Structure 1
Amino acid sequence: MQIENPADIASRLAAEHRQRIPFSPLPWATAGNMDLAYAAQDVLVGIFAEAEGATIAGWKVGLTAKKMQSFCGVDSPIAGAILSSRVHCGPIELQLADFGRLGLEVELAVRLGRPLPSDADLTRQSVEASLDRICAAFEIVDDRDADYATLDACSIIADNSWNAGIVLGESRPLEGMPDLQNLGASLSMNGEAVGHAITSDAGGDPLEVVVWLERLLRSRGRRLEVGDWVMTGSIIATQFARRAQEYCFTIEELAPVVVRTSGQN
């Protein structure tokens, strides 16, 4: 039986999280109804927020790379909410047993320092003028051991785009930063290099990602609020931790951020 009510979809997903049930595509998702997916996400985030005594503290943007969009059958990124209870400052240790399957994505994070302008004036330049802080960050994702051969974007969106939190490095003012598209980035695990990239490898200009996100939020009756953090997309391939590891992510001009994992998954 298809589930087409946002509240029912969210209730099912919340139960799956509580019972540690692996992720599986939702029955209706092949229809590509992104409005329904985001409506279900709103309800699910509300369920999580109430349970954790939390508020929305920012947003993640995923599938910024064209390759991943094609893989999931969409032509745009996707978004998910970040709860205040899930915002951490590095270094931090994460218990693998707390997740269905813990993934770490390395990203450039920016913070909104003043309200964004009206739709007519919403541009890359106005976004840059409205941001105040920037840092290297990890996004914590929990794909609940998903089968990537059967992924679809709507199912991921409904499940809050798999966001399970963020880990922020020490931030600095955005003012004075060089071109955000061409900053060198590197990730190491236990002191050994995992990958090198530049920030535009996440899918282009990070500030255009913020423009896209704000337009999406406004189409849903929401918007970025002052103090919100935005995760602008994964720069290096996702790392899935299965045992105790130490990950260190650095971006040129920014302080490094460290996540340690412990236990087994």
Structure 2
Amino acid sequence: MDAVAQAEAADLLLSAYETRVPMDPLVEKYDGLTLEDAYEIQLLQIRRRLAAGATVKGHKVGLSSPAMQRQMGVDQPDYGHLLDDMFWLEHLPIPADRFLQPRVEPEVAFVLKRPLKGPGVTVAEAAAAVDFVLPALELIDSRIRDWKIGILDTISDNASSAGVVLGSTPTALSAVDLRLGGCNLHKNGELVATGAGGAVLGSPLTSLVWLANTVGAHGVVLEAGHVVLPGSVTASIPVAGGDNVTASFAGLGSVTARFTEERG
């Protein structure tokens, strides 16, 4: 793709945000769309948002568990940006109409106390950079109709990032084994999924290392105070107005997202 086509694709996705009307997959419109094109389309949108006053508050790794890769038909992780208007407070209403076709994923969120700059970041360096971890629910959404996405469409769409709800019980990384910690996901009081941290590239910490080194190769630094979502420990679940979703993590506590039909 040339720069004109990349800009056009970014405009189409931004329009889907604004109109709340999903679009056809980019891979059906643009022959030869590559991984590099997809990340450039993502960055074009992020630059536009930053120019309008948004700020980056972190990053997310997507498609890092076998469950999510099977669900979405992909075979590798991806990453996206978390902006300031994507953060929602726990238990407070989230207007479902802010999204097109929302889903929720339970994750362990890292909060950094020092920057991580790749490539070359080791597991030891990543662990030393973590201030604490929190239980989290990531809101994912797709501007692509019916979630008909492959790796290129989801990357172009900011890795399907839509929002995040953080729990309020910070835990030191040394106090919990993220690989073995289990998670129960409840929707409207019913258990709908279970998982463990080991589903995320063997450990959520491995996902943090992958992210630091992947974005570092492009000159991006994971900054102190930023939130990193390493990936879901279960398959995602659809949500709508009136739904309440709670993720309970062994050793980390719980986090709840409440969706309302009121317009946001």
Whether the TM-score (by the shorter chain) exceeds 0.5 is yes
Mapping for residues 1-265 of structure 1, pairs under 5 Å: 5-26=5-26, 27=28, 31=32, 33-51=34-52, 53-66=53-66, 68-69=68-69, 74-116=74-116, 119-120=119-120, 122-144=121-143, 146-148=145-147, 150-263=148-261
> Once the 2 structures are TM-superposed, how far is the Cα of residue 68 of structure 1 from its aligned partner?
4.4
C-alpha separation between the residues in 1 aligned to 2:196 and 2:43?
33
Aligned-partner SS, 2:235: strand
Contact 1:100 1:145 in 2 (8 A): no
User: Gapped runs of 5+ residues in structure 1?
Assistant: none
Q: Do the aligned partners of residues 100 and 110 (structure 1) sit closer, same or farther apart at CA in structure 2, a change above 3 Å counting? A: same
User: Gapped runs of 5+ residues in structure 2?
Assistant: none
Matched to 1:231, the amino acid is L
C-alpha separation between the residues in 1 aligned to 2:70 and 2:60?
19
Aligned-partner SS, 1:10: helix
Normalising by the residue count of structure 1, what TM-score does the alignment of the two structures yield?
A: 0.89
Deviates more, 1:35-44 or 1:173-182: 173-182
Contact 1:3 1:9 in 2 (8 A): no
Q: Do the aligned partners of residues 3 and 72 (structure 1) sit closer, same or farther apart at CA in structure 2, a change above 3 Å counting? A: farther
Aligned-partner SS, 2:178: coil
Matched to 1:206, the amino acid is P
> Once the 2 structures are TM-superposed, how far is the Cα of residue 57 of structure 1 from its aligned partner?
0.5
Contact 2:142 2:157 in 1 (8 A): no
Q: Do the aligned partners of residues 141 and 74 (structure 1) sit closer, same or farther apart at CA in structure 2, a change above 3 Å counting? A: closer
CA deviation profile, 1:217-248 (whole Å, cap 9, x unmatched): 11222121111111111112212113411111
Identical amino acids, percent of aligned pairs? 29
Query: Which runs of 4 or more aligned residues in structure 1 lie more than 3 Å from their structure 2 counterparts after TM superposition?
Result: 1-5, 27-32, 66-75, 117-120
> Once the 2 structures are TM-superposed, how far is the Cα of residue 216 of structure 1 from its aligned partner?
1.2
Normalising by the residue count of structure 2, what TM-score does the alignment of the two structures yield?
A: 0.89
Contact 1:96 1:243 in 2 (8 A): yes
Deviates more, 1:196-205 or 1:221-230: 196-205
Contact 2:119 2:214 in 1 (8 A): no
C-alpha separation between the residues in 2 aligned to 1:43 and 1:110?
26
Contact 2:244 2:258 in 1 (8 A): yes
Q: Do the aligned partners of residues 226 and 151 (structure 1) sit closer, same or farther apart at CA in structure 2, a change above 3 Å counting? A: same
Q: Do the aligned partners of residues 104 and 69 (structure 1) sit closer, same or farther apart at CA in structure 2, a change above 3 Å counting? A: closer
Deviates more, 1:202-211 or 1:62-71: 62-71
C-alpha separation between the residues in 2 aligned to 1:252 and 1:224?
27
CA deviation profile, 1:198-231 (whole Å, cap 9, x unmatched): 1112342111101111111112221211111111
Aligned-partner SS, 1:81: strand
CA RMSD of aligned residues (A): 2.5
